Amino acid sequence: MIKRFCLFFILLMNVGFAQEDEELPNYASAAAEFMSLYNAGDYQGIFELFNDDMKKALPRENTIDFFSQNVSGLMGNIVEMHYTTMKDGAHFYRTTFDRAIADIAISLSPSNQIMGFLITPLKPDDLPILERNSTKMILPFNETVFVFWGGTTEEQNYHMADATQQYAYDILMVENGASYKGDASKNENYFIFGKDVIAPCDARVVKVISGVVDNVPGELNPAQLTGNTVVLQASDDEFLLFAHLKEGSILVEVGQDVLQGEVIGLCGNSGNSTEPHLHLGLQNDAEFLKSTGAKLYFDRLLVNGELKEDYLPVKEDFIKNIN
């Protein structure tokens, strides 16, 4: 599962200053300094911009972790910051990152130290709304697999709380009620680890992330959220995300056309993942943080021993392709 750290962080923002339209020089300078330090990876330097209350509320180590893992690890470097408005004493900047767009709000003390900070990721308004797939799909595995998270409610599928990954699946293999046998600290003891991940349809490879080490089960890598990743484009607005693949296992490259059933990599435990599994999602953009999730139906499945057609699997289903 992709465990996302919250990117919304606010401290002491309600300072009650009057509304203004113009960017003040001290704010322009603070925003420019913040951007420079952030892109240099100098999160200690960002901490030094805080006033005493901010430093107490977000200590040095927390500041470093927040920006290195929750911001830079997810969104990349800042390309530009553009002032948009002022509200409740905070200046708002529309900020373009490598992999996302966000609004950053900064509030300064009388001594021009940062006394409040808020970052809110946005989604582009021009992406088409995708309800479900029109492309016929098969499961990305040749064997019976288990749906750990799946469905259209938060009770069935914790991904529903996040629009970016809503309707996504976490897929395991289970035997006798367990996903592994033996020592739970070894990836190779998990039934799904190293299994072939196949293309659910004819598609084009539009994104590949590789070189991410598989985690020791129970540990997380929030700096590389999706780990080793493949994104396939099935149609103009249908993109399939395969996350947490095994290190060194990806067999495709960007621009390559793949056929339904072709092996694209092996199931692994890389990125922000607690144990070997496949995170599979349908989205309306190739970039995870810019997209909105959609419902992913499969053409013909054996579901808990029963034939289902055009089916959306739900939590605790055992599912298998029918040839």
Q: What is the pLDDT of residue 21?
A: 58
Confidence of residue 17 (pLDDT cuts 50, 70, 90): very low
| pLDDT for the residue 9 | 44
305 Cβ neighbours under 8 A, 6+ residues apart: 318
Above 60 in pLDDT, residue 12?
no
- Distance CA(3)–CA(312), nearest Å, equals 22
- The Cβ of residue 92 has, within 10 Å, a number of other Cβ atoms equal to 18
Q: Model confidence over 194-251: pLDDT tens digits?
A: 999 999 999 999 999 999 999 999 998 877 889 999 999 998 889 999 999 999 999 9
In this prediction, residue 14 carries a pLDDT of 40
Report H helices in the chain: 25-39, 43-48, 52-57, 60-65, 73-75
- Asked if residue 94 has pLDDT above 80, the reply is yes
Tell me the mean pLDDT in the region 147-156: 96
Residue 105 bridge partners (DSSP): 92, 118
- Reported as a single tens digit per residue, the pLDDT across 122-140 is 765 656 789 999 999 999 9
Share of the chain above pLDDT 70, in %: 92
Contacts of 231 (CB under 8 A, 6+ apart): 205, 206, 207, 208, 239, 240, 241, 242, 286
- Residue 200's closest CA among 145, 129, 273? 145
Predicted structure pTM score:
0.71
With beta carbons less than 8 A apart as the criterion, state whether 1 and 76 touch.
Answer: no
